[in-house]
Amino acid sequence: MSALLGIDYGATHTKMLLVDGAHGDGPVVARESVRTGKLEELAESVRTFTAGRAVARFGITVAGTLDERSGVVGRSANMPWLDGVSPARTLTDLVGIPGVAVQDGVATAAAEAALGAGRGVEDVFVIALGTGIAGAHIVAGEVRAGAHGGAGEVGHIVIGGTHRCSCGQIGCLETLIGGAQLGRRWAELSPATGDPAATARDVVLAAESGNQGAEDALAQASDALARALLQISALLDPGVIVIGGGVARSPRWTVVPAFEKARRDATFHRLPDMRLAELGVWAGAHGAVLSAAEAPHQGSPSGLAAATCGSPRPAGG
Amino acid sequence: MSALLGIDYGATHTKMLLVDGAHGDGPVVARESVRTGKLEELAESVRTFTAGRAVARFGITVAGTLDERSGVVGRSANMPWLDGVSPARTLTDLVGIPGVAVQDGVATAAAEAALGAGRGVEDVFVIALGTGIAGAHIVAGEVRAGAHGGAGEVGHIVIGGTHRCSCGQIGCLETLIGGAQLGRRWAELSPATGDPAATARDVVLAAESGNQGAEDALAQASDALARALLQISALLDPGVIVIGGGVARSPRWTVVPAFEKARRDATFHRLPDMRLAELGVWAGAHGAVLSAAEAPHQGSPSGLAAATCGSPRPAGG
């Protein structure tokens, strides 16, 4: 029986996942995490990982901008060797397996919708609360990319406050709950004890040890998230909202109070089920497998916005 | 050749439109506006209007909430004789022509998307600036109703300010630009000259005659609309945004400055084309014709289907 290979090609670690069958939702037959190297090293890892197994196709995530049609990376801030490269085509040439590239946020969202907290629901909005904030609306398995590929920018809807966002607007959701911003908000609210360079986890630990400024920063963040949930509900009316990402890892400080506040503040809204993400750090690899299963043609405006590279050939040995 | 009949069944006037062919986009062969009566009087008007013509099917708009499956009106604030009634079924019994009901805002938006300012574009977001504010996202001819029929509530995304909206939230777009609110904002900004009961048209006339408070109220309204346009762009990335309705009838005071401000304030956004609506007061009747052309079975979840996004719209107008 042939398998699909998912590669979540992250800046520090690369996760590989082998899933039985042709649809991407079969049993996981192997998984492995390795330190990230350039594409030649990745090819070597793939050869070792898949040795002796028939692999029909792979999907590989891209942490950066990706041209859907060509499969070429525009810019990858942390993996500059990918700039201007088609990682799927290069890897196909190196390992003899056809494959597709998919933007990492899209892969994660598609996996949560299909296999994680959104499984069985037709209409799912997924929010990833990380250093930045990503969103994707997935309906009937298709990511709604928008007319110019720009939909789902939930991190940049204006919620309030006076902080200039990296995007140039003032008051974006990301300025209040983005992982890179929480420490700064803490330091503003508690100049004596706050650390502007603190990670989301640091802020949570401070709040748990009773630091009032940290608690206030998290409360401000979860209030902002609640407002964003109501906006999403008003404009899109999804069936389920799923929230994951690093900032969601201590849900009682961020996501759970946001769900509660959104429920309290809702008026006309038909609030969807709101759930925590389930797939954790393997979501991106599962999404890469799903994009391999979809096997779209290059240039197809397919749901996973994946770019196919390499012609299908018999599975390499 | 047989024709389709569109009936825009408004609280004071009813517009009837007869369109040749089966697709709803053919030539208009007749149109007439009559004073609105109950369904028996409407049937009489329909008989007179269609006398001697072969009518394949009609569509009728409902100014109120509508259950998509049954075609039954939930509540019509200004036409209480429709509450709990299926107007399409009743009219069919009276005139012997099969028909479907469609929520009026949906009909107007679908007509602007297909035949008006959005024609030829696959992905159109339509905003109706009336007493209330309605929105609808139409992609490939289908209204995106959301998982519970509640999508497109652009009037109730929170923009700012301290005003309590009819929906219960504070700071909804509608509190700043809704036709029923503009006079109140004028009176707040200019207690000596403003009239809280003024219509949008009154406020525009006052601004044109140099009243500073009226100018300020309109500037505040168009700023709020600009912010809403950016939110829509960030979350949905439509191909075109079309704006119509009574408040848009003096575009240089409301819609045009909002378009300009949105273009100035955009950062990462992929701003769509922004256009004024084109069909004017006949848009609803054209939308009713389109719903007749779709000829869905009542209960079909299709775009214009048997009626539509029957979500209770908080303050639709």
Q: Taking CA atoms, what residue in A is nearest to B240?
A: A147
Structural domain boundaries of chain B? 3-107+280-307, 120-276
Burial B276-292 (b: 16+ CB within 10 A, else e): bbebeebbbbbbbbbbb
**CATH 3.90.550.10 fits domain A3-104+287-309:** no
3-state secondary structure A246-272: HHHHCHHHCHHHHHHHHHHHCCCCCCC
According to the model, what pLDDT value does residue A295 have? 65
Helix then strand then coil, in percent of chain B rounded to 5, is 40, 20, 40
Q: Is B150 on the interface with A (CB under 8 A)?
A: yes
Tokens standing for A307?
């770019």
B212-236 helix and B255-265 helix, angle to the nearest 10 degrees: 50
Nearest to B154 among A169, A235, A269 (CB): A235
Pairing of strands A55-62, A3-9: parallel
According to the model, what pLDDT value does residue B295 have? 64
Strand, coil or helix: B233: helix
Sort B40 into a burial class: Cβ within 10 Å, 0-12 / 13-18 / 19+: exposed
- Chain B nearest CA to A150, separation (Å): 6
CB A219 within 8 A of CB A256: no
Tokens standing for B107?
């009909």
Q: Taking residues B284-298, what's their average pLDDT?
A: 83
According to the model, what pLDDT value does residue B303 have? 37
According to the model, what pLDDT value does residue A235 have? 96
Contact A154 B234 (CB under 8 A): yes
Eight-state DSSP code of residue A296: P
Q: Is B154 on the interface with A (CB under 8 A)?
A: yes
CB B286 within 8 A of CB B111: yes
Tokens standing for A132?
């930045």
What does residue B199 show for φ and ψ, rounded to 5 degrees? -85, 170
Tokens standing for B262?
């949105």
Tokens standing for B286?
């054209």
User: Tokens 């640091």 — which residue?
Assistant: A202
Size (chain A), residues: 317
- Chain B nearest CA to A166, separation (Å): 10
Pairing of strands B240-244, B123-129: parallel
Q: Is B268 on the interface with A (CB under 8 A)?
A: yes
- Chain A nearest CA to B308, separation (Å): 15
How is domain A117-276 classified at the CATH fold level? Nucleotidyltransferase; domain 5 (3.30.420)
Contact B151 A236 (CB under 8 A): yes
Which residues lie below 8 Å from residue A6, measured CB to CB, with a gap of 6+?
A: A15, A16, A17, A18, A19, A58, A59, A285, A286, A287, A288, A289, A290, A292
| Cα-based angle A45, A51, A55 (whole degrees, multiple of 5) | 95
Contact B231 A158 (CB under 8 A): yes
CB A92 within 8 A of CB A313: no
Tokens standing for A32?
């492995």
Nearest to B153 among A156, A227, A234 (CB): A234
Q: Is B284 on the interface with A (CB under 8 A)?
A: no
Question: Is the pLDDT reported for residue B206 higher than 80?
Answer: yes
According to the model, what pLDDT value does residue B169 have? 95
Q: Is A166 on the interface with B (CB under 8 A)?
A: no
Contact A267 B167 (CB under 8 A): yes
What dihedral angle (degrees, nearest 10) is formed by the CA atoms of B192, B197, B201, B207?
A: 10
Reported CATH class of domain B120-276: alpha beta
Contact A157 B312 (CB under 8 A): no
Q: Which residues of chain B have a CB within 8 Å of the CB of A234?
A: 150, 153-154, 156-157
Q: Which residues of chain A have a CB within 8 Å of the CB of B133?
A: none
Instruction: Tell me the H-state helices in A137-254.
Output: 173-177, 182-189, 200-208, 212-236
**Residue stretches of chain A with pLDDT short of 50:** 297-317
Question: Is the pLDDT reported for residue B271 higher than 90?
Answer: yes
Contact A270 B311 (CB under 8 A): yes
Contact A235 B167 (CB under 8 A): no
Strand, coil or helix: B294: helix
Q: Which of A123, A143, A268, A271 to mutate against chain B (most B CBs within 10 Å)?
A: A268
Strand order in the sheet with A28-35: A28-35, A13-20, A3-9, A55-62, A99-103, A307-309
Q: How far is CA B242 from the centre of its chain?
A: 11
Strand, coil or helix: B122: coil
Helix then strand then coil, in percent of chain A rounded to 5, is 35, 20, 40
Question: Is the pLDDT reported for residue B291 higher than 80?
Answer: yes
Q: Which residues of chain A have a CB within 8 Å of the CB of B311?
A: 270
According to the model, what pLDDT value does residue B296 have? 53
According to the model, what pLDDT value does residue A107 have? 93
Q: Is B301 on the interface with A (CB under 8 A)?
A: no
DSSP string over B177-212 = H-TTTHHHHHHHH-TTT--TT--HHHHHHHHHTT-H
Q: Which residues of chain B have a CB within 8 Å of the CB of A167?
A: 267-268
How much is the ipTM here?
0.86
Q: Which of B174, B235, B302 to mutate against chain A (most A CBs within 10 Å)?
A: B235
Q: Is A270 on the interface with B (CB under 8 A)?
A: yes
As a whole-number percent, the residues of chain B with pLDDT over 70 amount to: 92
CB pairs below 8 Å between A and B: how many?
128
Q: Taking residues B46-50, what's their average pLDDT?
A: 97
Instruction: Look at A172-186, A298-312, B173-187, B214-228 and tell me which has the smallest mean pLDDT.
Output: A298-312
Q: Is A93 on the interface with B (CB under 8 A)?
A: no
According to the model, what pLDDT value does residue B258 have? 98
Which residues lie below 8 Å from residue A132, measured CB to CB, with a gap of 6+?
A: A155, A166, A174, A178, A179, A180
Tokens standing for A68?
């859907």
Residue type, A253: W
Q: Is A272 on the interface with B (CB under 8 A)?
A: yes
Q: Cα separation of A135 and B67, whole Å?
A: 31
| Cα-based angle A165, A167, A170 (whole degrees, multiple of 5) | 40
Which residues lie below 8 Å from residue B266, measured CB to CB, with a gap of 6+?
A: B230, B233
Contact B237 A146 (CB under 8 A): yes
- Chain A nearest CA to B315, separation (Å): 10
Sort A97 into a burial class: Cβ within 10 Å, 0-12 / 13-18 / 19+: buried
Q: Is A74 on the interface with B (CB under 8 A)?
A: no
Contact A156 B265 (CB under 8 A): no
Nearest to A231 among B135, B158, B269 (CB): B158
Q: Cα separation of A55 and A314, whole Å?
A: 9
Which residues lie below 8 Å from residue B114, measured CB to CB, with a gap of 6+?
A: B24, B25, B138, B141, B290
- Chain B nearest CA to A159, separation (Å): 8
Q: Taking CA atoms, what residue in B is nearest to A134?
A: B235
Start-to-end C-alpha separation, chain B: 36
Q: Which residues of chain B have a CB within 8 Å of the CB of A160?
A: 160
Sort B61 into a burial class: Cβ within 10 Å, 0-12 / 13-18 / 19+: buried
Q: Which residues of chain B have a CB within 8 Å of the CB of A265?
A: 169
> Where are the strands (E) in B203-283, listed by range?
240-244, 273-276
Q: Cα separation of A54 and A61, whole Å?
A: 21
**Helix H or strand E encompassing B91:** helix B87-95
Same fold, A3-104+287-309 and A117-276: yes
Q: Cα separation of A233 and B67, whole Å?
A: 20
Eight-state DSSP code of residue A112: H
Q: Which residues of chain A have a CB within 8 Å of the CB of B150?
A: 233-234, 237, 268-270
According to the model, what pLDDT value does residue A296 have? 53
CATH superfamily of B3-107+280-307: ATPase, nucleotide binding domain (3.30.420.40)
Strand, coil or helix: B288: helix
pLDDT of B142-168, one tens digit each?
999 999 888 999 999 999 999 999 899
**Helix H or strand E encompassing A288:** helix A283-294
Q: Taking CA atoms, what residue in B is nearest to A230?
A: B157
CB B88 within 8 A of CB B97: no
Contact A157 B122 (CB under 8 A): no
pLDDT of B1-32, one tens digit each?
689 999 999 989 999 999 999 999 999 999 99
Strand order in the sheet with A273-276: A142-143, A133-139, A123-129, A240-244, A273-276
Contact A235 B151 (CB under 8 A): yes
